[in-house]
């Protein structure tokens, strides 16, 4: 690790990860590392390969002990690892145990938000509507009888991996098999008729919340893995909605964000129906390249990508407090 630059904050950016979102996370981490202002930050790159091996900034294996040594030499950690073994609270737990300030939600919020079924239960408890659905396992999947069009998805996965629209009974078994190949539990949800609109929320250390402009995702069919990354989706920022719809979406996003106990930034995804917002899911570490949804949403409000990153890092340090942040410099 290079010597510390006087007056700069040393931030560890973690990317990759042992999940189906490895490549997306690698791209997000590279973009984040490149965008952090070099006059304010010394960036230390650390990554996790698809098999779970920790690597240094040159791609050399250093193991968990080596990674812990690197992280302890930094002032703050910015984990940009999407999906299981990262976004689900595991990296937050590592930082907590090591006494390291970090950007993003804590252990509990990350774990609960990653679990789409439990997120539905939390949302329902605070009065936010969710998509009707059932929870299945490998043992119970064969008992499910198809009666109408449904969406099948793994309970804990991102980037729409393993998600299928099933509009014919002959496609159900294949969809369940695809989802169960990724997770031991799957959701089978009704198809919701509505506009796909997302809201991002940032929790500030003073207790305030910074809500982004909305984004509407316009696609021909299901917003699946292919349409997320092939450029065919039309992202409209801000979404063209009424003031009443805007307030309903913001209120629902804040209610779920706070009920889950999220910190840092999270993206809350909805279907806007005739009866109001219906929660789809919550992402506590959404895609974070400069062209990803959340950075673009805040850019529409005048918060440029480097400034957004600076805000998140500074907030993490402030929330940690001077004693904890100082103890992490190792």
| Sign for the pseudo-dihedral over CA of 154, 160, 165, 169 | negative
Whether residues 115 and 222 share a domain: the answer is: yes
Determine, yes or no, domain membership for 202: yes
Determine, yes or no, domain membership for 162: yes
Determine, yes or no, domain membership for 300: no
Determine, yes or no, domain membership for 156: yes
Whether residues 250 and 126 share a domain: the answer is: yes
103: which DSSP letter? S
Do the beta carbons of residue 288 and residue 266 sit within 8 Å? no
Whether residues 124 and 237 share a domain: the answer is: yes
The whole-angstrom separation of Cα 51 and Cα 261 is 30
Q: Please, which residues bridge with residue 10 across strands?
A: 42
What pLDDT score does 234 carry?
Answer: 85
The whole-angstrom separation of Cα 320 and Cα 135 is 37
| Number of domains forming the structure of the chain | 3
Whether residues 216 and 119 share a domain: the answer is: yes
Q: SS3 for 188? A: strand
The whole-angstrom separation of Cα 51 and Cα 31 is 22
Whether residues 98 and 247 share a domain: the answer is: no
Determine, yes or no, domain membership for 296: no
Do the beta carbons of residue 222 and residue 149 sit within 8 Å? no
Please report, in tens digits, the pLDDT of each residue of the chain (330 residues total): 666 677 899 999 999 999 888 999 999 999 999 999 999 999 999 999 999 999 999 999 999 999 999 999 999 999 999 988 999 999 999 999 999 999 999 999 999 999 999 999 999 999 999 999 999 999 999 999 999 999 999 998 765 778 999 999 999 999 999 999 999 999 999 999 999 999 999 999 999 999 999 999 987 655 545 555 445 578 999 999 999 999 999 999 999 999 999 999 999 999 999 999 999 999 999 999 999 999 999 999 999 999 999 999 999 999 987 644 444 333
The whole-angstrom separation of Cα 234 and Cα 49 is 32
Using alpha carbons, select from 259, 255, 258, 280 the residue that is nearest to residue 270: 280
CATH number assigned to the domain comprising residue 90: 3.40.50.20
| Sign for the pseudo-dihedral over CA of 321, 71, 65, 262 | positive
Determine, yes or no, domain membership for 213: yes
The whole-angstrom separation of Cα 326 and Cα 330 is 8
Whole-number Cα distances in Å, 258 to 89, 117, 179, 318: 16, 17, 29, 19
Q: Please, which residues bridge with residue 269 across strands?
A: 198, 281
Helix (H) / strand (E) containing 172: helix 172-180
Using alpha carbons, select from 50, 43, 58, 62 the residue that is nearest to residue 25: 50
Whether residues 125 and 214 share a domain: the answer is: yes
Determine, yes or no, domain membership for 1: no
Rounded to 10°, the helix 107-114/243-260 angle is: 120
Whether residues 17 and 98 share a domain: the answer is: yes
Whether residues 122 and 255 share a domain: the answer is: yes
What pLDDT score does 221 carry?
Answer: 55
What pLDDT score does 326 carry?
Answer: 42
Whether residues 153 and 256 share a domain: the answer is: no
Given 156, 172, 190, which residue is the final one in a domain? 190
CATH number assigned to the domain comprising residue 182: 3.30.1490.20
Whether residues 217 and 280 share a domain: the answer is: yes
What pLDDT score does 20 carry?
Answer: 84
Determine, yes or no, domain membership for 72: yes
Whether residues 225 and 266 share a domain: the answer is: yes
Structural domain boundaries enclosing 264:
111-130+192-284
CATH number assigned to the domain comprising residue 230: 3.30.470.20
Whether residues 88 and 137 share a domain: the answer is: no
Strands (E), 9-75: 9-16, 41-48, 54-55
């Amino acid at each position: 690790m290079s010597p510390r630059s006087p007056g700069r904050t040393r931030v560890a950016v973690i990317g990759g990860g042992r999940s189906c979102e490895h490549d997306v996370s690698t791209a997000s981490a590279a973009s984040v590392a490149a965008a952090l202002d070099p006059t304010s930050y010394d960036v230390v790159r650390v990554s996790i390969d698809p098999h779970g091996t920790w690597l240094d900034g040159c791609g050399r294996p250093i193991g968990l002990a080596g990674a812990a040594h690197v992280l302890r030499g930094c002032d703050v950690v910015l984990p940009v690892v999407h999906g299981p073994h990262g976004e689900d609270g595991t990296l937050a737990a590592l930082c907590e145990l090591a006494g390291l300030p970090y950007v993003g939600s804590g252990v509990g919020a990350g774990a609960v938000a990653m679990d789409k079924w439990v997120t539905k239960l939390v949302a329902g408890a605070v009065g936010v509507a969710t998509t009707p659905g059932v929870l299945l396992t490998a043992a119970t999947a064969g008992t499910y009888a198809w009666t109408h069009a449904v969406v099948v998805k793994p309970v804990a996965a991102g980037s729409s991996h393993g998600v299928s629209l099933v509009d014919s009974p002959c496609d159900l078994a294949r969809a369940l098999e695809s989802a169960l190949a990724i997770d031991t539990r799957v959701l089978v949800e009704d198809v919701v008729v509505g506009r796909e609109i997302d809201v991002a929320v940032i929790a500030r250390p003073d207790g305030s919340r910074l809500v982004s402009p909305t984004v509407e995702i316009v696609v021909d069919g299901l917003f699946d893995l292919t349409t997320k990354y092939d450029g065919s989706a039309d992202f409209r920022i801000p979404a063209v909605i009424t003031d009443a719809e805007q307030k309903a979406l913001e209120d629902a996003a804040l209610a779920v964000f706070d009920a889950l106990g999220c910190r840092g930034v999270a993206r809350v995804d909805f279907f806007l129906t005739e009866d109001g917002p219906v929660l789809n899911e919550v992402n506590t570490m959404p895609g974070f390249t400069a062209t990803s949804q959340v950075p673009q949403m805040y850019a529409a409000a005048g918060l440029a990508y480097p400034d957004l990153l600076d805000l998140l890092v500074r907030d993490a340090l402030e929330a940690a407090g001077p004693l904890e942040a100082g103890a992490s410099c190792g």
